[in-house]
Structure formats: C-alpha cells, structure tokens
Structure 1
C-alpha cells in the first residue's frame, strides 16, 4: 500500500514538473474571463485596460483615482485615464462616484479638484496679493486655467480668512490699499464745493496715483473709487446728494443755495427763476413751490402773497381817490405783462370794483377808476 502511494506521488510530481505543450493565447484568456463572468464565477465589475492585457476592478479604479487626488488635489480625468490605462468613459463614471461620496471634491471642466487644493491656491493668491497690493481676477483665472466665475466662488468665501483682501469690481485689493484709496476719495469728496461730475474726480485720482506710484503703481478702476464713495455717503462721512449715480451736489453747496434763495426772497418778496438757474438749481419753479408752498408761481417770477396784498392796497387807494395806477409801477421789473393779469385776478379789491363797475382795466396792467374816466371824458367836451 505504501509502495503504491509513493508511486502515485512520484507520478504527480512528474506531471507538475512537465512542461505543457498547450498554451492559452491572450484571446483565449479574454474569452475565458468573459465566460467566467457569464457563469458568475467572476464579478461583473471587472474592467479591462485599453491594452486589453490587464483587468481592474471598479473598486480598485476608484482607489487609484482617490490616490491621484491625494497627491495634488487636482487631477485631469484624461490624465487619470492615461495613468491607469482604463477607458475615459469608465474613469468618468468612477470619478462621479468618488465626487458624490466626498463633498470636498468637485468636477470642473474635466478635472477633479478638492477643497484642499483651493485652500492652497488661496494661500498663494494671498501671498501674491500682499506683494502686489492688487490682483485682477482675470489674471488669476488664466493662471489657474478656470473661469472667472469659478475664481469668484473660490475667493469670496476665503476673504478675511485665508485671503486678507477685498474684492471690488473684478479686482482683489489689500486692506491697506483699500484704506489708502478710501482716504483719497474722502479727501477729494470733502474738497468739492460745487456740483461736480464724479467721473472727472476719479480720473484725477487715477492720474494722481500714476504720478505718485509710477509705472509700477496699481491700476484702479473708476468703479472702485465710486464704491468707496458710496460707502462714505452711506456712513455719513460726506454729505450731499447724488443724482444719476455720478452728479454730486455737496451739502455745503445746497446749504449756500438755500441761504441765497431765502435771503433774496425774504428781502424782496419775489425771486426770478433766472436767479435759481444761475445758482444751478434745476426746475426752479418746482423748487420754489416745494420750499414756499404759500408763494405764487408766475411765468417769469415767483412772488410772495404780500406782493399781491401790496398791489391790491395800492389799487384800492387809487380807485377810492378817483385816480388810476399802472400795476407794473408797483410790481418788480421781472414781472412781465403776461403775469400781471394773473396777479390782478388775485387782488380782491380789483375784482370787487370791476364787478361793481367802479373800475376798468386797460392795457393789461393799468386800472382806472370810473370817476377818473368820467372826469376825463367831460374835460374833452
């Protein structure tokens, strides 16, 4: 029995050591693997490489993708396909699965990018920003090979944390530079005493920066100056009114306007619209009606009710004494014939005497008492 067992062992050993005369081709191996998959002896998630000489599981492919991401935080799907030797379709499919399972990853323009990569990029951006005082987002987008909108979405949440700067109008500025610009805008705004188009002020500040900093100075857009100015207005550091976004009227000018108008009107009981136009007050009639609601707006002049009362008293006196009067001799020279009729219509004594046939109006501005007219007619006969 032992002899038979020993003989069988020797035969088995000889069979193992003998070289096979039959070898499987690569095609046979592929067919064999497919057959084993059909018979469920092998998992169906096995993928073959682009060369067809190797097989890889989906789990291992995901592991390879994750390993590449850990190396740099940013990897191209095309580069991944070349590195692992698997068709791009399968790489994209597994990359989606990796990104879905990790909120810190995203696929952007055919690349997997991690939050840690953006944090590192933000540190580099901040380092460059502190050196240059200003960086354009378009420049960053070109360096990072991504769109400007993506750069904004990356930069904004990291401002004040990793990036010590301020984003304005597509530009990044350091806090120190922002403070400098703000101080320049504040000084320029407080120096304005008359209505001014702010665009001319910003152009002057840009020229000043170029003269001060030279060719290496930071280029500042007018929109940035405007943004700083709007902030100062909102905080009450500069006072005035802004019209159409660029036309600035400082409070000191508006105060001088009001003081000048008030002084003239109180002293004369009238004011012409030309005076307001010379003071750069738009829509003078509406301005006066708003400021002096009790006043009377005529075509060429704005008068106080006391002016009507004065004329009414003078006309009443002339009629009582059997005389006549030219209204223009009582009214300011700015009052033209077209305005006299309106003023006379507001004089109660004139309207009363005309209805009572005690007075008549001639030549638009002259009022004659009936007794005066009768005397003159009698003297002619």
Structure 2
C-alpha cells in the first residue's frame, strides 16, 4: 500500500522504485521521526506508545529495514518487523526527498505535537525587521558562522539571548535567518518542553539538540526560555524545571565549536532566568520599542497593505503610537481601527476610528492583571 510516498512493502522491487525518485548521491544526512501508530485502523487497534531506551540500537534497527527508502517531510514510513504496519511520520528529512543509507542519523522524537520540530516556512527577510540594528548585526555574524563554521573555531557565536518587550521582532528576526540562509530552524516554545513525568523534559531537550546537530548548520530558537530556565528560587513552582535546566546547561556547553549550531533563546523576562543558564549566553541583545522614525516606517509599511485607505495624518499617527511595539501598531492600532470602519460599512479608515482603537488599547493596559498574567 502506498499513499503520498508511504512505503508499506519492504520488497526489493519497491526499494529500487523509491531509489529512482531521487538524484544519484542524494543521501539523507538526518531523518527525524514521530511515532503515529495505526492511523488507518482508527479505533480498531490500540496504538502502543513507543519508548526508546537505547537510541543507538533504534538507529541500527531503523537503518537495517529502511535503507534505500526515499524520505520526504510530511510523509510516512512503516515498520515491518516488531510492529508490522506501525506508522512513523517523517517530521524532518535533511536534505528533503533523499535516500536513507547506512550513514543516515535516524532520530525518534517524542516531543508533544505542539512542540513538533518543524521546518519553518517564511518569506521574512532581515530588511523587513525595522530597527533593532544591534540584533541585526549579531545575526549577520551568525549567518557568516553558519556558512563557514570551521573559520570561527572556538570564537563561534554559539548561544545568544534575545530579550525585550513582546512584539518587537525577536521571532521574526530568527525566521529571517532561516529564510535567507536556507538552513533548518528548530523553532519551539519552551513551555512545550516540560513533560508530564520526571525525565520527559530533559529527554526532549537532548533530542532537540541531537536533531539540530545531526543536520547542522542549523539554528535552535527557544521562545519563552524563562518558562524552563527559571531561577532556582522559582523552580519549586514547576515540576521538572530543575532537571530541564540541567539538560539545557549540558547541551549548551556541549555544542561543538565547528559543528555549525547556534542556540537563540528569547524571553520577555530575562531577570527570571537561572544565573547558570543566563551566563551561558555569550551576548544578550535587548529588543527595544521603535523610535519615532521607526514607528513612521512601520505605519507606512502596514498602511500600504490594508484593504481600506487610511485618511489620517501620518505624523499624527506616529505621535499617537508612542510606546507601542511593531505588533501593537498592527494589531492594537491599525487592525482595530480597520475593523471598526468595516463594521460600519465605510470605505475609509478615519481618525475617529484611530481614536477608538487608542481608547481600547489604553483601557486594556489599565485593566488589572491576574497574578499569573
């Protein structure tokens, strides 16, 4: 049975057919799998949970039965030995549409679906990020390192911390790195790395760094890193945060200088980070709120793409948006004003609409926050 490059038969003829689908010599460097179970049998068969205690043995087992298979991201591959027809989703194949060989690194990811390692598709370029010049300079250095890791040696930019007000471009800048260099970007929310049981979090972190190292050059972007890298005085509030911190320290210390892997942590609250974690970042880059000329540029950029024209003076808009991040300008100022105009069946966005959005934004800021907000 075959479906979108799904392989369900291990015959030699099928292997030859699969091999012919790729260019000669296009061998898979790394394949990251996620266990799926028996998706076509619905509830007829209980899906056993796959737990790997010995990664090396699993790799040998996987390569032996799937050697010469063509792997493509998003498709599936089936076990034919211990659990016949048990499905694995191919989360990442590097390079994509390549052939498994006896040298391919095969990793079984056990991350939750929400933190699934994914290839981020983005058209964002560094020039699209307005302001944040210091951060852009650092990213240019990272780009040079990823192109020629052996040139930097022990002076490689391995761990960098982005911090600052939400909506100022931290994630956007990381996506631009991946897009401009066409290197794998492992983008995860730190909260999704906290497992239900002791050991889950540390295991997921080790698997994340293993996957990145296997397909280097690569970038690991851990958003909201303070969720797992909490200062020790806060760790009693979260179940396995302490062992997650230790796992992060081990991985951040263990990255090979010449491997071509950069870890970028992002947080809005750097003061909450455990000192041991924070000290591992060779550089901290603060993302600041846009200045007047930058707000004007952001407004002009967004107004061009709005479905209704804006009849409001740009200088007045720039002054009114003081203290707003780029995201706030789009979502809290322009979008609210636009939706008001559309709801009232008007063909333009007026200053009255802008004043309405400003009042709503001020009201939200002044509302009391919950203790965990």
Mark yes or no: TM-score above 0.5.
no
Classify the TM-score, shorter chain: under 0.3
Task: Report 1 or 2 for greater relative contact order, CA contacts < 8 Å, sequence distance ≥ 6.
Answer: 2
TM-score, structure 2 as length reference: 0.19
Compare CA radii of gyration and give the structure with the larger one. 1
Structure richer in helix, relative to its length: 1
